Amino acid sequence: MPQVRRVPAREPRQDLAGSSAKRCPVQLRGAWGTLLSDGRTDGRSDRPPYRPTVRPSSPSDRPTIVIALARKYRPKRFADLLVQDHVATALRGAVARGRVGHGYLLTGPRGTGKTTAARILAMALNCERRAPAEGEPCGECPSCSRVWSGATNLDVVEIDAASNRGVDDARDLRERAMYAASQEGRFKVYIVDEAHMLTREAWNALLKILEEPPQRVVFVFATTEPQKIAATAAPVLSRLQRFDFRRIGPAAIRARLREVLELEGLSGEEDALALIARYADGGMRDGLSVLDQCLSFGEGPITAAAVRQVLGLISDEQYAETLRAVAERDTGAVFPLIDALVNSGADLVEFMGGTADLLRALLMVETGAEPEGLTETLRQSIERTRGKLQASDVVRMLSLLSEAEAAIRRSSSARLVVETLLLRWTLMDRVEELERVIRQADRRTDGQSDRTAGRSESRTADPNSPSVRPSVRPSALTLESLRAAWPDIVAAARDRSPLLGQALEAATPVSAGQGAVRLSAPHEQAVLVEGLRKQLGVIDDLIGAFFGGQVKVQVALEPAEGAPKRMTNDDLRAERLAGLRKRDPALDAAANELDLEIVDDSPRSPSP
Ligand SMILES: Nc1ncnc2c1ncn2[C@@H]1O[C@H](COP(=O)(O)OP(=O)(O)OP(=O)(O)O)[C@@H](O)[C@H]1O
Ligand SMILES: [Mg+2]
Ligand SMILES: [Zn+2]
């Protein structure tokens, strides 16, 4: 009888190299054994050595070798398949009505139930106790048990495409598929996992089978990467019924972990489960695997601290401290914070990712939504931050963060990138506004179009703001017409940048004509005027747009009343800066460190 070669007679493939389990980031202890508390082994030779795991709750003193939780709690009925109701309902209905197709494609992220669903379908088709109009397998009969555990089976064949890719395998498969199922009334089910690994030749061979499918043969292909199949085997795809599996949300993962713990007679902190759920990132297998590892880690209930240790996670307290420092603009807290992270061996990329998650959660809370999967510590931290950061601030912080994430890959010092990021966040009010204005001014003078400005443009541009608002029809530039248009010009400037608007508002046109404009501002507004001078190009364009021509703008400062001598701008600037730095030592340090420009936007200048 033709053999499908190298079909592994081992189970479950998920736990062995070559299957998707290799992508599980967690080294499993205690994942290999199976049902051995009575001292039996299943005698197979091609599995890795047993690694006994002692469960603290084990009633006997004898070490108990346990089945991996992910395997032990693999659903046995469609009804038990979490989150994938759309798949479960369709497949259950097809079985009940006797209208099962010849080919299915199950796609979706890892650990979401594809292999499980394929096995339940195979169980349902061959269940010895299933009533005729019923779509669910019993899950208990010998046939169901064999399929469920992935044991060798004449009628249900699991193939790992990762190690059986070639045309020979497909030919074997084709020949073998011609044989009917082992008994009258049974189905032959081929479950091809990692199907995107099949070669084009293998797909061609399969296509021939699917074009004239033998009676009672069902192919189920499972893959995390359907687009690869589309590239190599589009004609096959059109002959398969496709089901897309969904990521499993943190709430569902957490609930399932809680359920599994209860079934095991164990307990765990809510925060611990929330952490695992977050880490599992949509995959139930990873969630259960981490739970497994935490169980072998120590006695008693699973604590958040244990989970963190197992996963090497940065503590929630550190994230909470980050959020606090940023919300309170506590620049001085940045260096100690990064020090502590680096000293504890934290992965700074992970830190950025975790901080991004936290900011997103904050944004959700601020906008009235309910973020999933937060630990109690983080929930409280967000609660304390509420109202201190504007949603628009958080959005800007996130875009700075995504820039930093890109930068960290190019930079030789992750630490410097993260430090700079946190400093910019804590100094954001004071720095960001000016930077943005300067960038725009630079762009103008470079003659670059807004569209070519790329990334930095997309993060600073306010999608609602018109670039220039020519609400006045071009007319001749005179002092009168300029004064008349002034409120509109100020509004257009404000659209571009609130600070620029504020600065222009403080100035008054004192002369205009022949392409030249002079503005004047009171002595107390020296700082704003300094800002204006940096953006003269922008202001030129702005006023020019209103009068349909080229304009050159000058800004003058009115002398202070009774001032003994007329100070130069440099004097003013130096004096101002010295004052600012004296009031805020952290700002001073940061300005030195980063070569930052300090603007004093007076209404919200830092409190001493
Ligand atoms: N939808 C689900 N409901 C309940 N448990 C699930 C679900 N999805 C996965 N699991 C759990 O995760 C384990 C692994 O699931 P399964 O092997 O079906 O994932 P998969 O989608 O085939 O993943 P991969 O792409 O990595 O092969 C199952 O044994 C089960 O314990
Ligand atoms: Mg699978
Ligand atoms: Zn059964």
| Domains in the chain: boundaries | 79-244, 250-311, 316-426, 478-587
Residue 432 token pair? 């960001």
- Nearest atom within ligand 1 for CA of residue 245: 21
Instruction: Provide the pLDDT for residue 449.
Output: 44
Verify whether ligand 1 is closer than 6 Å to residue 113 (CB atom).
yes
The Å distance, Cα 122 to ligand 3 centre, comes to: 10
The Å distance, Cα 148 to ligand 3 centre, comes to: 10
- Cα–Cα distance, 311 to 290 (Å, whole number): 8
| Percent of all residues in the chain with a pLDDT value above 70, rounded to a whole number | 72
HSE-up (13 A, CA, CB side) for residue 544 = 14
Residue 327 token pair? 């919300």
What is the Cα 62 distance to its own chain's centre? 43
Ligand nearest to the backbone CA of 141: 3
Ligand nearest to the backbone CA of 22: 1
Q: What does the pLDDT average to over 77-84? A: 96
Which among 19, 74, 160 is the best mutation to test ligand 1's pocket, defined by most ligand atoms within 8 Å of the CB? 74
The Å distance, Cα 190 to ligand 1 centre, comes to: 18
Q: Which of 37-51, 75-89, 488-502 has the lowest mean pLDDT?
A: 37-51
Instruction: Provide the pLDDT for residue 249.
Output: 94
Verify whether ligand 1 is closer than 6 Å to residue 282 (CB atom).
no
Which among 115, 158, 259 is the best mutation to test ligand 1's pocket, defined by most ligand atoms within 8 Å of the CB? 115
The Å distance, Cα 57 to ligand 1 centre, comes to: 26
Q: How far is CA 382 from CA 169, 278, 356, 376, in A?
A: 55, 17, 13, 10
Instruction: Provide the pLDDT for residue 4.
Output: 32
pLDDT band at 534 (very low <50, low <70, confident <90, very high): confident
Instruction: Provide the pLDDT for residue 367.
Output: 82
pLDDT exceeds 80 at position 592: no
Ligand nearest to the backbone CA of 131: 3
Entry field: residues in the chain: 608
Instruction: Provide the pLDDT for residue 453.
Output: 39
Which among 112, 158, 245 is the best mutation to test ligand 1's pocket, defined by most ligand atoms within 8 Å of the CB? 112
pLDDT exceeds 60 at position 450: no
Q: Which residues contact 295 (CB under 8 A, 6 or more apart)?
A: 30, 53, 55, 56, 69, 264, 266, 302
Residue type, 83: V
Instruction: Provide the pLDDT for residue 247.
Output: 96
Tell me: the pLDDT tens digits for 542-569?
888 777 778 899 988 887 655 444 445 5
DSSP string, 104-142: EEEE-STTSSHHHHHHHHHHHHH-SS--TT--S--S-SH
Q: Report whether 225 contacts 196 (CB < 8 A).
A: yes
- Nearest atom within ligand 1 for CA of residue 83: 1
The Å distance, Cα 80 to ligand 2 centre, comes to: 17
Q: What does the pLDDT average to over 65-78? A: 87
**Domain at 250-311, CATH from 1.20.1560.10, 1.10.8.60, 3.20.20.70, 3.40.50.720:** 1.10.8.60
- Cα–Cα distance, 188 to 178 (Å, whole number): 10
Verify whether ligand 1 is closer than 6 Å to residue 68 (CB atom).
no
- Nearest atom within ligand 1 for CA of residue 223: 25
Instruction: Provide the pLDDT for residue 91.
Output: 97
Instruction: Provide the pLDDT for residue 406.
Output: 87
pLDDT exceeds 80 at position 292: yes
HSE-up (13 A, CA, CB side) for residue 21 = 20
- Cα–Cα distance, 95 to 90 (Å, whole number): 9
Instruction: Provide the pLDDT for residue 581.
Output: 63
The Å distance, Cα 3 to ligand 2 centre, comes to: 23
Verify whether ligand 1 is closer than 6 Å to residue 222 (CB atom).
yes
Verify whether ligand 1 is closer than 6 Å to residue 75 (CB atom).
yes
Q: What does the pLDDT average to over 15-26? A: 35
Instruction: Provide the pLDDT for residue 121.
Output: 97
Verify whether ligand 1 is closer than 6 Å to residue 363 (CB atom).
no
Which among 23, 284, 292 is the best mutation to test ligand 1's pocket, defined by most ligand atoms within 8 Å of the CB? 284
User: Bigger pLDDT: 445 or 197?
Assistant: 197
Q: Which of 88-97, 307-316, 527-536 has the lowest mean pLDDT?
A: 527-536
pLDDT exceeds 90 at position 95: yes
pLDDT exceeds 50 at position 20: no
Answer yes or no: pTM beyond 0.85: no
| CB-CB neighbours of 365 under 10 Å | 17
Looking at every residue in the chain, the average pLDDT score rounds to 77
Nearest CA to ligand 1 atom 26: 110
Instruction: Provide the pLDDT for residue 430.
Output: 62
- Cα–Cα distance, 99 to 97 (Å, whole number): 5
The Å distance, Cα 250 to ligand 2 centre, comes to: 20
| Percent of all residues in the chain with a pLDDT value above 90, rounded to a whole number | 33
Ligand nearest to the backbone CA of 70: 1
Verify whether ligand 1 is closer than 6 Å to residue 116 (CB atom).
yes
Residue 424 phi, psi (nearest 5): -65, -35
Q: Three-class SS of residue 199?
A: coil
316-426 and 478-587, same CATH topology: no
pLDDT exceeds 90 at position 119: yes
User: Bigger pLDDT: 426 or 496?
Assistant: 426
Residue 158 phi, psi (nearest 5): -100, 130
Q: Three-class SS of residue 598?
A: coil
User: Bigger pLDDT: 483 or 584?
Assistant: 483
Verify whether ligand 1 is closer than 6 Å to residue 71 (CB atom).
yes
Residue 412 per-residue DSSP state: S
Residue 524 per-residue DSSP state: G
pLDDT band at 45 (very low <50, low <70, confident <90, very high): very low
Residue pointed to by tokens 């499980």? 116
**Domain at 478-587, CATH from 3.30.300.180, 3.30.1540.10, 2.60.40.1930, 1.10.10.10:** 3.30.300.180
- Nearest atom within ligand 1 for CA of residue 117: 18
The Å distance, Cα 237 to ligand 2 centre, comes to: 19
Q: Of 337, 268, 346, nearest to 302 (Cα)?
A: 268
Verify whether ligand 1 is closer than 6 Å to residue 223 (CB atom).
no
Instruction: Provide the pLDDT for residue 285.
Output: 95
Instruction: Provide the pLDDT for residue 574.
Output: 62
Verify whether ligand 1 is closer than 6 Å to residue 361 (CB atom).
no
CATH of segment(s) 316-426 = 1.20.272.10
Q: Report whether 65 contacts 38 (CB < 8 A).
A: no
Tell me: the pLDDT tens digits for 190-241?
999 999 998 888 888 888 888 888 888 999 999 999 999 988 888 999 999 9
Instruction: Provide the pLDDT for residue 589.
Output: 62
The Å distance, Cα 111 to ligand 2 centre, comes to: 7
pLDDT exceeds 60 at position 452: no
The Å distance, Cα 1 to ligand 2 centre, comes to: 28
Q: Identify the CATH homologous superfamily for domain 79-244.
A: P-loop containing nucleotide triphosphate hydrolases (3.40.50.300)
| CB-CB neighbours of 537 under 10 Å | 17
